[in-house]
Copies of this chain bind each other. A is one copy, B any other.
Amino acid sequence: MRRRRPTIIDVAERAGVSKSTAARALANGESVLQETRDRVLAAARAVGYERNHLAVGMRSGRSGMLGLVIPDIANPFWADVARGAQDRAAKADVSLLVFSSDWDPGKEESHLRALRRARVDGAIVNPVSDALDDLNRFGLPFVLIGSSAERFADVSSVGSDISQAVELGLDHLVAKGHQAPVLIVGPRSRLARTRFLNAVQRHTIERDVDPAQMVIEDGEYTLEGGRQAMLRVLDRPRVGHISVFAANDMMAIGAMMAVRERGLRCPDDVSILGFDGIPAGAFTSPGLTTIAKPGRDIGARAVESLFDDIEGRPEHGRIYMPCRLVDRGSLADLLRQPRQLAG
């Protein structure tokens, strides 16, 4: 048998005051006699009172909830983003509704609808489709996350600093004696691919290497996509050591599998550099050297940016979070072992 949950009226009655006084005491304690306040607080504790956020939301027009829509909750990177956002939201005493669209535009749209109906105060979205227009139309404040954010010009966004990340990667490659790596990138349709390639090209030119001599292979952002792309690379005529820069850790791991399949060894015959920093990269052998995106920080910053938007100080700016290199040994040091240098 379930008891009715105590309301502010129960508290007020027990404290012998009106409900407005009780509300004031409970809220901030302003304009309330210290003694009254204590009595109300004691009463609240006694009856086990807990403020009803639904009612508050109705009254104030603020639900105290935010939404987060990511493409894949089972991807450790996105899970990390979700955790960062969650923690930051909790600190502000706000609840976060996390939805995974599983790369399905239909699902994404229905999630967005659910968010609107739940009357979230704002949403953070990594857009798979263009349903975003809907959000805009209803005036729901939102912040974009990830690379595809660039499609929407006048919206705040948070992502990783691809340019700095690529620079970090190329520096590491050069330091180990690798010149023009093979690039394994995502599908042509994805904006992230273009951003990655542009960054590589820019930084490669800075290093006096002709970008045109770099081989590019593409595929889905998955294990299998990376594996297939690597197999194609290995099918080309080649001399000496091969270096690979993959746009995503899953692809990098797939590439590693392909190398092993062909009876070659990493890093002895093929060096591989990944991008993301997912934990699985630590379990391969050799471990995957990669550029780690600060997923958690991205989530946290996105929430902060959203708060700004909601509170009416929209920056409408892009925030780029710096990445860091994690060296786990999947790149050969060609300078110390010059016998393996490419022809």
Interface residues of A (CB under 8 A from B): 2-3, 5, 48, 50-55, 57-58, 63-65, 73-74, 76, 79-80, 82-83, 86, 90, 93, 95-100, 102, 110-111, 113-114, 116-119, 137-139, 223, 253, 257, 260, 279-280, 282-285
Contact = CB atoms under 8 A, between A and B. Distances in A.
Given A74-B83, A99-B86, A2 B139 contact: yes
Contact of A79 (B58, B79, B223, B280): B79
6 contacts: A54-B57, A54-B63, A65-B118, A90-B111, A283-B283, A283-B284
- Which of A90, A100, A280 neighbours the largest number of chain B CB atoms within 10 Å of its CB? A280
B83 A73 contact: yes
Contacts of A2: 139
Nearest to A6: B138
Given A83-B100, A86-B99, A139-B3, A58 B54 contact: yes
B58 A55 contact: yes
> What 4 pairs across the A-B complex have the smallest Cβ distances?
A2-B139, A280-B280, A54-B57, A74-B79
A118 B3 contact: no
Contact of A114 (B57, B90, B137): B90
A167 B97 CA distance: 39
Contacts of A282: 223
Given A79-B73, A283-B283, A48 B119 contact: no
B138 A50 contact: yes
Nearest to A117: B53
A90 B73 contact: no
A62 to B, nearest CB: 10
Contacts of A280: 279-280, 283
A117 B49 CA distance: 10
Contacts of A48: 137-138
Contacts of A285: 260, 284-285
Contacts of A111: 90
A58 B284 CA distance: 52
Given A73-B86, A74-B279, 11 more contacts: A5-B138, A53-B117, A54-B58, A64-B118, A73-B79, A74-B83, A76-B76, A83-B102, A98-B98, A257-B283, A283-B284
A313 to B, nearest CB: 15
B95 A52 contact: no
A114 B63 CA distance: 13
B50 A117 contact: yes
A294 to B, nearest CB: 14
Contacts of A5: 138-139
A338 B155 CA distance: 66
A250 to B, nearest CB: 9
Contacts of A55: 58
A16 B257 CA distance: 66
Nearest to A2: B139
A285 B51 CA distance: 53
Given A52-B117, A116-B50, A73 B65 contact: no
Given A279-B280, A283-B253, A53 B90 contact: no
Contact of A73 (B82, B102, B114): B82
